[in-house]
A and B are shown apart, each in its own frame.
Chain A
C-alpha cells in the first residue's frame, strides 16, 4: 500500500511506530504535489522549507502533511484569498486554527487555491486560475474550498483546513469524493480567517474519513479569547467518541430535499446511505423542513451585505496591491478596488451594498434576518423529533469548467442544500456515498443540532465502517 492511500490517522500511527520517517512522508507529499499541481492547480503557494520534525506525541496527527485554504492567515507565508488585490500579502500573525495545528505537530505543505474571497461554488473565480477536479479534469471541484478538496482527493496531502460560509467545505468534499465537516458556528476560532460573511463563516477539516475530521477538530475547536463568537468546546474528544453505534438514532430525511431539482443518481445514492444507517440500527424517517426554498435568497442577502462591509478594508492603503498613477484618494480607492477584485466579488459587493443602502435595508436585509430566524426555528422543530437530518449536498454532479460562470444565479441555486445549515449555525458533514453514471463522486450531508458535532461525526463514522466510498481514489494521471 502506498503512503498516500492511508488516512491521516493511519499515517500518524505509522510515524509514531517508526515504520516510516518524517523525511519519507514529506518527500512522498512533495512528489505527489509536484505531479498533481500542473493538472489540478490545487496549490497557490508551496511551503519553501519543511519545518523541523514535530513532536510526534503532540497529537495523533503530528507529522502528517497537510495544507491550509489560502484565506487562513499564516505568519510569514503569503496569503492571497486567491485575489489580485491582496498581492503578496504576508500576514504578521497566524490564524487561531493555524496556531493550534502548529502546536499539534501539523506539517503544512502550502496554501490552497479557492474561489476569490471564498465567493463561488466551483473554485473557478480564483485570480490564479481555476482548480480542476481530480476525478475529471474538465470539471470543477466544487467550491469554494476546491483546492483543499482536490489536493486531499489527489493524495497530495492527508487533510486540509477549509472554510464554509454557504457550503464551501461540504460541496467540494462531495464533488471530490472526500469527507468534509463544517462544525457548529463558533466551534473553531475565526481569528485570522479572512472574512467573507462573518456571521456564517466557519473553519473546518477536509479529509479522507470522518475519523480524520474528528481528529482535526479535536485540535482546532475551542474558545479563542481573540474571537468573541468562539465557543468553549464540550468536554471529551470527538475522536474517542466515535463508537460507530447508531442504534436508535433518529434520522430525518426532509422530503423537500429529494424533489425534482435533484439528479436521480444523487437521490439513489443519498437514499442508499440512509439504508446503510438503517441497517446499522438507526430509525430513518421522512420529515418536513419547511422554508428551505427561502434559504438561498436570505443567504445571499446576508452574505453579500456582510461581504460588502468586510471587503471594504481592501483599499490599497495598508496592505496588498495599490493601483498605480492615482492622482487623488478617490481615484486610489476606485482604481485599486476595480482592478483588484474579480467579477463575482464585485457583483456580490454591489449586491450587498444595495441591500444595505438607504431605502432598501428593511425590504431586503432586515427581511433576510427575519427569514433566518424562521429557518432556525424550522430546524429547531425538526430536531425535537430527530437527532440528525440526512440530505444531498449538491443537486447534481460538478459542472464542467466555465459552464456556470456565465450564470451566477444558477450557481447560487446549487447551494440550496448547504446554505440553510449556515444560516442556522449548525454542524454538518459531507461524506462520499456513491458515484453517478460518469463515475463522479456523490456526497451525502448529515446535519446535527447546534453543538451536535459529535453525533454528526459518529453517524458518518458508522457509515464509513460499513462502506468503502471514502477510500476510493480518482484514477486520473496523479500516479507518482
Chain B
C-alpha cells in the first residue's frame, strides 16, 4: 500500500520589538538570568499587563501580508496551566478571537509550479521563560528573561504532503517576516520555532488519520528529519496492525527520534477565558489602511521587477531576493551606479562566498553598497583589474575602509600609460627570443606566455587588454 503523509504546522515567531508584549522590559536575547524582568513579567501579585502597540502592528501587518482577514474586534484570553516557566500560571494568548484568520501563503514546488498553503489563524501571545537543570544541586533554575517576549503563532491547515513542502513554506514564511521587518527569524536563538502535526493515510483516502504533534523543532534540518522519522514510525505501526495514539511527541535531536511526552501533558483543560485586565481591541479601517501602506515589496514582487526592469536572469533575481538584506544591498549598489548584472555577479559570487566563509548573515555585514559600486566602477574604468578588485574586496569586507584609498595606499592602480606598457613588452621580447620565434612559427601558446611575462614585468598592474594590444603590435613588426 502507498501512504500519504498529511502535515499541518504551528509556527511561533518572536517579534522584533524593543520591549516585551505587556511590559517595558527589553527583549534583547541573552543577558544574565532574570535581569530583563519586572513585576509584570515575573507575575508578581497586583502587576498588570498593558499591550505594546508595536506587537499589534506587527501581527496585523503579517496577517495582511499573508492575505488573511483581520479580526476587527478582538480580545486576549488566558490559557491556564501550571509550569515553572510560566510565572502567572496562565499564558496571555488568543483563543476565541485571534487577530487574523483565513490567510494563505504560496510556496514554490520542487517540480515547478506553486501551491497555496492555507493559514487557519494567526494570534498574538507571550513567550514563556527558560528552565535549566543544574545536575550539581539537582534543581531546575527558572530564568524569566524570555517571559513576555512577544510571539505570533501562525497555524496552517493540514495542507502539506511532504517535508520539502514544509521547508519551502518555512523559507517563504521566513522571507516574508524578514521583508516585513517583524522578526529576525533566528532559529538558533529560538525566534522561529515550529510544532509539526502529522498523520498518515492510505493514498487516495479522504479521511485523516490519528495525528501526533511534534514539539521542540529548532532547525529546518530537525523539521525534515522529524517528519521523515515520524511518518515512517506511524506507517510501521499501522502496517503492524497497531494504532497511532494521538499525543504530543518530543523530537530528540541527538537520538534522531521522537518520544512520547508524559500523558499528563496530553490531557489538558486550559480553561481559556477573556483576560479581564486587557481591554478589547477595535481596529478601524484607517488603521488597517495605514499598516497596509507600510507593507514593503515582497521577495516575489522584487524578483519579478529585477527580471523585467533590470534584465536579470530569473536565477539571479531569486538568489538576490532570498534574503531581504541582500536585495537591499543590491538595490543600493545599483542606485549608486553599479550595472545590475555586474552587481548581481559580485553579490552572488564574492559577497555570498565571504558571508558563508565568515558565518555571517547579510544583514550583519559591514561592507557598504557604495564600496561595491566603486569597486565595480574601477574595474570598468580599467583602473584595476578583476583579480586586484577581488583582493581589494576581501580587504574591505574584513576591515572596512575606502576603496580608492586602499587602492592608492597599496599602489594597485593599473598601468595605463601606453609608453610604460610598450617598454615592458619590448624588454620581454628581448629577453625571450625563443618564445618570439615559436609564436612566429605558429605556436599560439607562446603568446599567452609572453602576456604573462609582460604582466609580471608590470607587477600585475596593467590592463590585460593594453598588454594584449601592445604585444600584438610589437610581434607584427619584423
Contacts and interface: CB of A to CB of B under 8 A. Distances in A.
Chain A directly contacts chain B within the complex, with at least one CB pair under 8 Å: yes
Interface of A: 72-73, 79, 81, 86, 89, 91-93, 95, 190-195, 197-199, 225-229, 305-306, 308-309, 312-315, 317-319, 329, 333, 353, 356-358, 361, 365
B73 to A, nearest CB: 15
A315 B42 CA distance: 13
A228 B50 contact: yes
Given A191-B46, A317-B84, A317-B87, 11 more contacts: A91-B39, A91-B44, A192-B47, A195-B45, A228-B49, A228-B279, A305-B273, A309-B273, A312-B89, A315-B82, A318-B42
Given A312-B88, A315-B82, A93 B273 contact: no
6 contacts: A91-B46, A195-B46, A226-B48, A309-B271, A312-B80, A318-B87
Contact of B48 (A91, A191, A317, A365): A191
B269 A313 contact: no
A227 B89 contact: no
Contacts of A92: 39, 44
A222 to B, nearest CB: 16
A376 B84 CA distance: 39
A124 B351 CA distance: 74
Interface string B277-288: 111000000000
B43 interface: yes
A358 B269 contact: yes
Given A198-B277, A199-B276, A225-B50, A91 B269 contact: no
Nearest to A366: B273
Contacts of B174: none
A41 B293 CA distance: 63
B87 A73 contact: no
Contacts of A333: 82
A443 B48 CA distance: 33
B87 A313 contact: yes
Most buried by A among B42, B43, B46, B272: B46
A303 to B, nearest CB: 11
Nearest to B140: A329
Nearest to A354: B271
Contact of A357 (B39, B43, B48, B269): B269
B220 interface: no
A91 B271 contact: no
Contacts of B279: 228-229
Given A91-B45, A306-B276, A365-B273, A226 B50 contact: yes
A23 to B, nearest CB: 33
A308 B273 CA distance: 11
A355 to B, nearest CB: 9
Given A305-B273, A309-B78, A312-B82, A228 B51 contact: yes
A191 B273 contact: no
Contact of A191 (B42, B47, B51): B47
A313 B39 contact: no
Interface string B121-144: 000000000000000000000100
Contact of B271 (A89, A190, A314, A356): A356
The binding surface of chain A is classed by DSSP as: loop
Contact of B89 (A86, A89, A306, A313): A313
B48 A228 contact: yes
B46 A194 contact: yes
A86 B78 CA distance: 23
Contacts of A197: 276
A92 B88 CA distance: 17
A198 B276 contact: yes
A229 B273 contact: no
B271 A319 contact: no
A317 B50 contact: no
A461 B256 CA distance: 76
DSSP class of B's interface residues: helix, strand, loop or mixed?
loop
Nearest to B271: A356
B406 interface: no
A353 B276 contact: no
A330 B97 CA distance: 32
A225 B24 CA distance: 11
B439 interface: no
Nearest to B90: A309
A312 B45 contact: no
B113 to A, nearest CB: 43
Contacts of B40: 226
A309 B275 CA distance: 10
A192 B46 contact: yes
B415 to A, nearest CB: 69
B39 A309 contact: no
A141 B82 CA distance: 36
Contacts of B43: 313, 318
Nearest to B269: A358
Contacts of A309: 78, 80, 89-90, 271, 273
A423 to B, nearest CB: 12
Nearest to A186: B279
Interface string B359-371: 0000000000000
A191 B45 CA distance: 9
Contacts of B84: 317, 329
B271 A318 contact: no
A240 to B, nearest CB: 30
A317 B39 CA distance: 14
Contacts of B51: 228
Contacts of B39: 91-93
Given A92-B39, A317-B84, A73 B46 contact: yes
Contacts of B88: 312-313
Contacts of B47: 93, 191-192
Contacts of A356: 80, 271-273
B45 A194 contact: yes
A193 B46 CA distance: 5
A9 B232 CA distance: 79
A443 B305 CA distance: 77
A440 B82 CA distance: 46
10 nearest CB pairs, A to B: A312-B89, A199-B276, A356-B271, A198-B276, A192-B46, A194-B45, A228-B50, A313-B43, A73-B46, A358-B269
A358 B40 CA distance: 29
A195 to B, nearest CB: 7
A252 to B, nearest CB: 29
Contacts of A192: 46-47
Contacts of A313: 43, 45, 87-89
A87 B142 CA distance: 21
B142 A89 contact: no
Contacts of A319: 44-45
Given A309-B271, A353-B271, A93 B50 contact: no
Contact of A228 (B44, B82, B277): B277
Contacts of B271: 308-309, 353, 356-358, 361
A81 to B, nearest CB: 8
A341 B48 CA distance: 23
B63 to A, nearest CB: 22
Contacts of B273: 305-306, 309, 356, 361, 365
Tell me which of A225, A228, A358 has the highest count of chain B C-beta atoms within 10 A of its own C-beta: A228
Nearest to B40: A226
Contacts of A226: 40, 48, 50
B46 A315 contact: no
A193 B80 CA distance: 21
Contacts of B50: 225-228
A176 B80 CA distance: 39
A227 B47 CA distance: 9
A72 B45 CA distance: 9
Contacts of A198: 276-277
Nearest to B49: A228
Nearest to A189: B48
Nearest to A228: B50
Interface string B73-101: 00000101010100111100000000000
A208 B279 CA distance: 35
Contacts of A89: 45
